Amino acid sequence: MPRHKCRRATSYQPLITRFMPKGGVHEESITLIPEEIEALYLMDLLGLYQEEAAVKMEVSRPTFARIIKTARQKVALALLCGQELHLETKRDRYVIAFCCDEKERYENLHPKGKYLFIFTVQDQKIEHFLCLENPAHGKDMKPPLLLTPLFQEHGVNFFLTATLGQGLKKTLASGGIQVISKESISEEEIPKLF
């Protein structure tokens, strides 16, 4: 009888889930499962070592090595053979962040807003809510240096904003944080974002 597969901790939530080669006519598609996506995110995007990444995924290092090897083989096969690549996602849990100038209304979202809001959504319900003073609110403060590490510390998957500079866009992307262009949002909309 096969062993029961242990739960793997995953946090990365890709916004784009399907990649098709231009001019490709393959009927087959390759699917990356959430644990493979997480392994690529941790090792290849964040640059963690296997030991660190295995701890974050709550698996052994040999198990992580098998997951990353399979994920890389699938990506190579899709790229080199011109096959469609599908990223399987489960949006039962995600963390969003945004900045604005008021605590009561979430309007005019921008990186230098006075307040930073972080919402953790589980099964389409707000599980945890955090409101902080935005460290990038001052005139001389640089959002790329201050917000990205803070978002990574809190496991943020998505950043909502109406405006975004190139520096912040690059640091968020390199940290695996997806940007969603949005002028405003209500508390009722947050659990229904996906």
- pLDDT of 120 reads 92
Q: Of 2-11, 90-99, 101-110, 125-134, which gets the smallest average pLDDT?
A: 2-11
* β-bridge pairing 93-100 and 158-161: parallel
Whether residue 35 has pLDDT greater than 70: yes
pLDDT above 60: residue 5: no
Cα distances (Å, whole numbers) of residue 136 to 140, 154, 164, 184 = 8, 16, 13, 19
Average pLDDT over residues 149-173: 89
Mean pLDDT of the chain: 87
pLDDT above 70 coverage of the chain, percent: 93
Tell me which of 20-24, 27-31, 51-55, 72-76 is least confident. 20-24
Residue 2 has pLDDT above 60, yes or no: no
Distance CA 36, CA 52 (A): 16
Report the relative pairing of strands 158-161 and 178-181 from DSSP bridges: parallel
Mean pLDDT of 74-96: 87
User: Domain 93-192 falls in which CATH fold?
Assistant: Nucleotidyltransferase; domain 5 (3.30.420)
In the chain, where are the structural domains located? 18-87, 93-192
Class of the CATH domain delimited by 18-87: mainly alpha
Using CA atoms in the order 161, 12, 40, 177, what is the torsion angle rounded to 10 degrees? Answer: 10
Highest mean pLDDT among 56-60, 69-73, 87-91, 172-176: 69-73
Say if residues 35 and 67 touch (Cβ distance below 8 Å): yes
Instruction: Give the pLDDT of residue 1.
Output: 45
d(CA 119, CA 189): 12
> Angle, to 10 degrees, between the axis of helix 143-153 and the axis of helix 166-174?
30
Given a cut of 60, whether residue 164 has pLDDT beyond it is yes
**125-151: average pLDDT:** 88
pTM for the whole structure: 0.74
What pLDDT is recorded for position 133?
A: 93
Span 36-65, average pLDDT = 92
